[in-house]
Amino acid sequence: MPALTGYQGKQEPYQNLVLSTKRVLPTVPCCIATPTVCLSACLPVCLMVNFVVCQLFALLTAFWFRLYLHPSKTSPFIRHVVATLLGFYLALFCFGWYALHFLVQSGLTYSIMIFAELEHMHKLCFIVALGYLSFCQITRVYVFDYGMYSADFTGPMMVITQKITSLAFEIHDGETCMCVLVKMPSLLEYLSYNCNFMGILAGPTCSYNDYMAFIEGTAYQPRHLETNGKENGKYKHTEPSPKNNVISKLCTCAISLAIFLSVSKIFPVERSIDDKFIASTPFILQVLYLYLSMLATRPKYYFIWTLSDAINNAAGFGFNGYNKDGSPRWDLISNLRILDIEFATSFKMFLDNWNIQTALWLKRVCYERCPINPTAATFLLSAMWHGVYPGYYLTFLTGIGMTMAARALRHNIRPYFLGSTTHKSVYDVITWAGTQVAICYTVVPFVLLAVGPSLKFYRSWYYCIHIACLLLVLALPVKPWHLRAKEEQQQQNSLQGGLTGDHNSQCITDNNCNQKHKAT
């Protein structure tokens, strides 16, 4: 199962909007504070403004890009050049010369793709890309300024790392088992894929083939096929407009940002470890407060990811076929489904709808290939990818136990509640409440970052959910992972029969290939 990713922390691709300093500022106006304190107080605000201004600029540019550099009016070469140059301009504006790290990381891995043997190329790219990202994260956090903000250029590098490794695995798999057909990109195509203006600041990641189809103007053609392989004549002659979808997503952004700005300061997570709060607040109210504090945190991610999705859609990227009513779908690279997150009735359902593209990346490069305990390996990779703060590792180690316990509980208990609609409704309410509390409990270290405060929180809860997870895993049987993988593969194969015209080129659509080459 993909690990919990992107919940909160200083290492996120969208961090420029949400970073806050850890220094305790004196209660004096900024204008009469010392210059250092004034700078540390104002810097996150400046970064927030920088990020929003750049994303709004990217949004306007995306409309221009679609209208005036449409594939019917210009060549793929021009579209690649413009997308790349605009991407580097935004990167330089936000991160200064730190943006050169994007070129270094891309250059190193492109050299590997060109000169390394195909058998080992994907592994070397994975090691170098992730290793360079980790090096930058370590130096930024522990060398420059621990707990304080220094230019968080590692955020975009996280998404670039996903793109580099995804492409390397797609090329390897395409050559070895023909489950994905990806040609070796030129240097311009590679830089455009990694650093285009639509996703340079906040992603999301995407398949290289999907990006090339967008640039070349072929993204709409295969998606006019119905599941039976016949052309849908009603819609095949018109290119769908993203206007309504972009407007809808911008409205979601506005609502999310308004909720976050008005509510988040009322429920700071740090209050959960305040001694007076712990001593004077009944435990049930502590649980309720934790849920509200995390609920107030999520809208900023809804804002950032939805805005990024709207930017890509405005440029014409993200079309994913049609709904049954004939309306176009623009969710090819969407990163979240808000209602499914807020009403998730299982740990897996929450993870499957939060940071979707990262979850798919983790599944593609780790979960489906790891020969030993892929769940634990996937969570640990997610922790490494996020950064070097200890809180990340506490969160993802806790997430391993949560996932195993949720899987055991669902496998053994859920069948007893499927006999009637009433029983199913009761089960859904109970599991919704349990899932929300479990998620909140798991991600507290991700927010607090340090070991001491994180363990203080868990001690205040007497490690009760950790203990409950351990007892559930020990007491309830569950099928070994390789048997579950086989069943999932059979289910996917039955669902995918006849979908041969699907344009989605990601290797997760052919688990036979991944199962055959797990050892690679």
pLDDT in the model for residue 459: 93
Element (H, E) at 488: helix 481-496
Q: Could you please report the per-residue DSSP string of 104-142?
A: HHHHHHHHHHHHS-HHHHHHHHHHHHHHHHHHHHHIIII
Are 334 and 468 within one domain?
Answer: yes
Both tokens assigned to 281: 């607040």
User: Nearest CA to 101 among 68, 59, 134?
Assistant: 134
Q: Could you please report the per-residue DSSP string of 14-37?
A: THHHH----S---SS-GGGS-HHH
Residue 24 is assigned to a structural domain of this protein: no
Residue 222 is assigned to a structural domain of this protein: no
Residue 36 is assigned to a structural domain of this protein: no
pLDDT in the model for residue 151: 53
CB 379 within 8 A of CB 370: no
Residue range 102-129: mean pLDDT, rounded: 94
Residue 128 is assigned to a structural domain of this protein: yes
Residue 259 is assigned to a structural domain of this protein: yes
Residue range 135-153: mean pLDDT, rounded: 71
Are 189 and 293 within one domain?
Answer: no
Q: Is the pLDDT of residue 491 over 70?
A: no
Are 211 and 261 within one domain?
Answer: no
Q: Where does the pLDDT of residue 33 fall: very low under 50, low under 70, confident under 90, or very high at 90 and above?
A: very low
Are 100 and 162 within one domain?
Answer: yes
pLDDT in the model for residue 118: 86
CB 272 within 8 A of CB 297: no
Last residue of a domain, one of 458, 475, 492: 475
Residue 19 vs residue 449, higher pLDDT: 449
pLDDT in the model for residue 496: 52
CB 70 within 8 A of CB 217: yes
Are 190 and 329 within one domain?
Answer: no
Residue 3 is assigned to a structural domain of this protein: no
Residue range 213-240: mean pLDDT, rounded: 63
Residue 477 vs residue 226, higher pLDDT: 477
Question: Tens of pLDDT along 175-210?
Answer: 666 555 668 899 999 999 999 999 999 989 999 999
Q: Is the pLDDT of residue 494 over 60?
A: no
Which residues are annotated as catalytic?
A: 355, 386
- Hey, is 346 helix, strand or coil? coil
Are 212 and 274 within one domain?
Answer: no
CA distance 91 to 85: 10
Host domain of residue 164: 42-216
- Lowest average pLDDT, out of 12-21, 139-148, 489-498, goes to 12-21
Residue 60 is assigned to a structural domain of this protein: yes
Q: Could you please report the per-residue DSSP string of 35-80?
A: HHHHHHHHHHHHHHHHHHHHHHHHHHHHHHHHHHS-TTTS-HHHHH
pLDDT in the model for residue 471: 93
Report CA Rg, the chain: 23
Residue 247 is assigned to a structural domain of this protein: no
Q: Where does the pLDDT of residue 38 fall: very low under 50, low under 70, confident under 90, or very high at 90 and above?
A: very low
- Residues in a beta bridge with 31: none
Are 61 and 149 within one domain?
Answer: yes
Both tokens assigned to 177: 């088992």
CA distance 172 to 113: 10
Q: Where does the pLDDT of residue 486 fall: very low under 50, low under 70, confident under 90, or very high at 90 and above?
A: low
CA distance 297 to 6: 12
Are 50 and 161 within one domain?
Answer: yes
Q: Where does the pLDDT of residue 442 fall: very low under 50, low under 70, confident under 90, or very high at 90 and above?
A: very high
Are 353 and 289 within one domain?
Answer: yes
Q: How would you label 141-178 residue by residue, b for 16+ Cβ within 10 Å and e otherwise? A: beeeeeeebbbbbbbbbbbbbbbbbbbbbbbbbbbbbe
Q: Please give the mean pLDDT across all residues of the chain.
A: 81
Are 202 and 278 within one domain?
Answer: no
Are 166 and 289 within one domain?
Answer: no
Are 125 and 207 within one domain?
Answer: yes
How crowded is the C-beta side of 497, counted as CA atoms within 13 Å?
Answer: 6
When divided into structural domains, the chain yields a total of 2
Q: Is the pLDDT of residue 482 over 90?
A: no
Question: Tens of pLDDT along 392-410?
Answer: 999 999 999 999 999 888 8
Q: Is the pLDDT of residue 212 over 70?
A: yes
Q: Is the pLDDT of residue 511 over 60?
A: no
Q: Is the pLDDT of residue 483 over 60?
A: no
Query: Could you tell me how far CA 228 lies from the centroid of its own chain?
Result: 32
Last residue of a domain, one of 189, 216, 243: 216
Residue 515 vs residue 104, higher pLDDT: 104
